[in-house]
Structure 1
């Protein structure tokens, strides 16, 4: 039986008006196939007639433009001449086989070369940063060496990331306070809701001022980062006080006089207003007595501790998380930063009894008969803010105790300008947890803006709180000192590299700090408490989630911890 060609079979099918080439029984030449075939041809889609039509119209020659994946339709490897020399077909199918072993150096990921990913969950080598006992990002940078750039990603472009979603381990921090079984959960507020709140509040009014202020030493305003601006940080013994709201005798008097509805200190209020920026756990004790609300801190609370790189992408690790560097753990860094902020404002003022600014009232906490050390330069201003809404039947006023650290004579107007003085500290720019900070000694003079911008990123919550406190106190200037360790391995000796000054509201604009949002948070929390009955409540920031929780607690909670006298024993020697 004679063989039957494919075209003969097609010709027997009934003719249809379907889309596609019309059936035909003709061939181009006797004995020549309908279309030439080459082993080098790449088969694309079956019966893809659109490819040829696009070419006729002068349209796309690459289907989807995917690296010529489907550009070769059947027969495209040969010329249109069916009598092409067969030698071309043989040459097209010829290839050289390389039996040499592939070098491990070429097995990189992305565009650069790099090291080969081995193991699972192993820690990085001593020369690599960022390995935290989880999947690592590996690969070469532009120079061909494996490493990480300042953004925490691969050094080269187009790198791949290993691990489930992210290569950072899940941080399991401890809560600032243990929730007791007899506490009742009333509200749970996530930060996404808090950031949407807003309340326009006018500038506060001064009620009264207490204490005194020394004048700021202008010699510290030299060009930072130079040898002439460096000075060793001294430890001076001065009596300073950190009295909570309910223990403040001035606030108690103002409450009895019905001067306000809400009472707090600037440290407590700033934490509440900057809550969406916080990462570490914290808590506040809120007491309602009739129509009055007192916002306090616990005895022994870490609320007044100064955090370090709290908002950094690679924040310092706890000892329980594998950090073997005890001096650079979060707790040790907080103690170091708090100590620096206690002694730094004392050193940068000129202590002169003849040249100082006395407030109308004497120091509310200092008792010279009981204290052996002189009082530190500090002024306490009690100010009132109006948080009322249009629909409120009675006005809602907040009274806050604010603090000022020094005074400065304006060279142009000759008026006294009030200052708040804070200090940023550098522990080791090369250590894990530094947040990609620049070396202050070499970069503070030439790249001051970059140094400050990095601190705004790594310490967003801390700097926002300091700015809010300065605005609440109506300070004219906020002085920021840059204090670094003399030796990165010694957390006890420090050097002042320089001091920069900022106007609080300008600094807030640089940080994208919205005061109206902070006032909205305060008003919302107070409204929650006012809906409840008289009693004691605890507001806790979850240690591992962006959530605030409001608990109702027994009235006698923390009573044994808060039974401390107001004067004398509340002093903190610095």
Structure 2
């Protein structure tokens, strides 16, 4: 049965009324009374925007949202009195800002416009150039290729190196030699340790010389006549690059105990400049009693001339996505080796009556078997002292050095020894060019910039050439600049110019320290001297800056042995070249 509301009200005592009690005291049981209004609207159950100041210091949404700006919340000032004190520390708590930002470009006074190309995208808005910096190198637009214009785009002829480097695949090169399971790794030396070595040696002592030299043609020092380029011709001449242990002169010197260590300048320069190398290489070290021989195997990469090995973006292999077969690293090395052989033969004046004869004839030439005439070449056997104060017995090294030509000094009229080397330009727009300048346009006007770029892209190759010239005690090192007639024709070339340098001053320009090179040689030799008689292989890791020394069976790399088989990647590379 429903009960009427009036009956309930009448049943209440007269001193009790409906609602909160009326009292004059401000505190009831120690709790302050908060006034309220029947018109108050219930807010959100969890309103993160009201209350204390927002994280931006703007006082919450009440301070800036027009929906809450003029709304009066009755009793809001005392609501904090009933706030529950949370035991946990929430000072580190923050709200994720999910406010949308406008994608519309604003070009007004307060806009942050984005420009491309040569516009003012890198400058501040209004009021100066801001933090603008020009990172270009070598003239306008980063002509040397390793800088770029930070004003929003590439400079003229420049390239933005470092752009999306994180997205590039790791370069995984193949080893120059196939590491077999029966090889035992003895030492592992990183380049950081090698760079700290140093050994001061004398300038060397001449022991004997062989062969003959033609005189250099000075006409190549003059720049070519406009629209008339000198073609690089194929000059078939017999030249030899015999390994150390197969050299009959070194065998005689070893029998006479003239030295303890024997090498050729081609092999020794690679070891002395090892810290500049990027590609993999290997050499054979043989110990027989107290004699140590530094050799190369047949088909070794030491006989090839690399191209842009040290460039920031070196030429890619076919497996790395390079579709231009004529610009593979192996194909470029074969082309550069071909150029160097013909350049040295073409730039001399062949005359049987006007040539410089050495003390002995060429030790490798057999007239009854050879059909080609001999190339201009002199072999000088020189001895260097690598001894230290703590050594009980002296430690000497004999190296076979090479000289390519001779020239008369303009002032004194004396004969000066020359080495002839050639740099080659394949395609300045192709991948792997290293930001090289256009030689035809810049070689005559900006020779310094051209040479500086080559020092950067071919640091190891040029350091080896300078080292070989210093070991041979050559007076001048001639550098030729050879380019393709057409970027797509790797078998036809022209000589654009020749420059002469003092090898020692050239080494200083490259920051090449021969004392460090001798220190590397002495360190490797000391390792082998502590080991037993046998054969060892020193290999440059293809992907890391370190050397590894392996002990291999004595018959490795001999004729008929399969140990001289190169890595699969190198073999495939040679097939592409053929």
Query: Higher mean Cα deviation, 481-490 or 145-154?
Result: 145-154
Give me the whole-angstrom Cα distance separating, in 2, the residues matched to 1:375 and 1:393.
44
Q: Which has the larger radius of gyration?
A: 2
Q: Could you tell me which of 136, 152, 164 is aligned with 2:160?
A: 152
Equivalence for 2:485: 486
Deviations 1:411-431 (A, max 9, x none): 101110000000000000011
| C-alpha deviation, 1:102, in angstroms | 3.6
Classify 1:347/1:471 alpha carbon distance in 2 versus 1 (closer, same or farther; 3 Å). Answer: same
* Alpha-carbon contact 1:419-1:476 (below 8 Å) kept: yes
* Alpha-carbon contact 2:382-2:401 (below 8 Å) kept: yes
* Other structure's SS at 2:507 match: helix
Q: Number of residues paired by the alignment?
A: 451
TM-score, scaled to structure 2: 0.73
Classify 1:162/1:148 alpha carbon distance in 2 versus 1 (closer, same or farther; 3 Å). Answer: farther
Classify 1:541/1:148 alpha carbon distance in 2 versus 1 (closer, same or farther; 3 Å). Answer: farther
* Alpha-carbon contact 1:230-1:498 (below 8 Å) kept: no
Deviations 1:511-560 (A, max 9, x none): 00000000000000000000000000000011111110000001011111
Give me the whole-angstrom Cα distance separating, in 2, the residues matched to 1:560 and 1:278.
29
* Alpha-carbon contact 2:106-2:113 (below 8 Å) kept: no
| C-alpha deviation, 1:153, in angstroms | 3.5
Equivalence for 1:472: 471
CA RMSD of aligned residues (A): 3.3
Deviations 1:126-166 (A, max 9, x none): xxxxxxxxxxxxxx966766789736337xxxxxx546xx3
* Other structure's SS at 2:437 match: coil
Give me the whole-angstrom Cα distance separating, in 2, the residues matched to 1:44 and 1:470.
76
Give me the whole-angstrom Cα distance separating, in 2, the residues matched to 1:317 and 1:255.
43
Give me the whole-angstrom Cα distance separating, in 2, the residues matched to 1:299 and 1:282.
13
| C-alpha deviation, 1:44, in angstroms | 7.8
Equivalence for 2:170: 170
User: Aligned runs of 1:334-483 on 2, under 5 Å?
Assistant: 334-483=333-482
* Alpha-carbon contact 2:223-2:496 (below 8 Å) kept: no
Equivalence for 1:263: 262
| Structure 1, unaligned runs of 5 or more | 3-7, 14-42, 47-68, 79-85, 87-97, 115-139, 155-160, 564-574
2:520 is the alignment partner of 1:521: yes
2:238 is the alignment partner of 1:230: no
* Other structure's SS at 1:445 match: coil
Give me the whole-angstrom Cα distance separating, in 2, the residues matched to 1:420 and 1:476.
9
| C-alpha deviation, 1:268, in angstroms | 0.1
Give me the whole-angstrom Cα distance separating, in 2, the residues matched to 1:313 and 1:101.
37
* Other structure's SS at 1:189 match: strand
Equivalence for 2:184: 184
* Other structure's SS at 2:278 match: coil
Classify 1:520/1:102 alpha carbon distance in 2 versus 1 (closer, same or farther; 3 Å). Answer: same
Give me the whole-angstrom Cα distance separating, in 2, the residues matched to 1:489 and 1:148.
24
Equivalence for 1:509: 508
| Runs of 4+ residues over 2 Å off in structure 1 | 43-46, 98-105, 109-114, 140-154, 166-169, 226-230
User: Aligned runs of 1:282-321 on 2, under 5 Å?
Assistant: 282-321=281-320
* Alpha-carbon contact 1:223-1:229 (below 8 Å) kept: no
Give me the whole-angstrom Cα distance separating, in 2, the residues matched to 1:252 and 1:483.
38
TM-score, scaled to structure 1: 0.73
| C-alpha deviation, 1:304, in angstroms | 1.1
Give me the whole-angstrom Cα distance separating, in 1, the residues matched to 2:380 and 2:561.
24
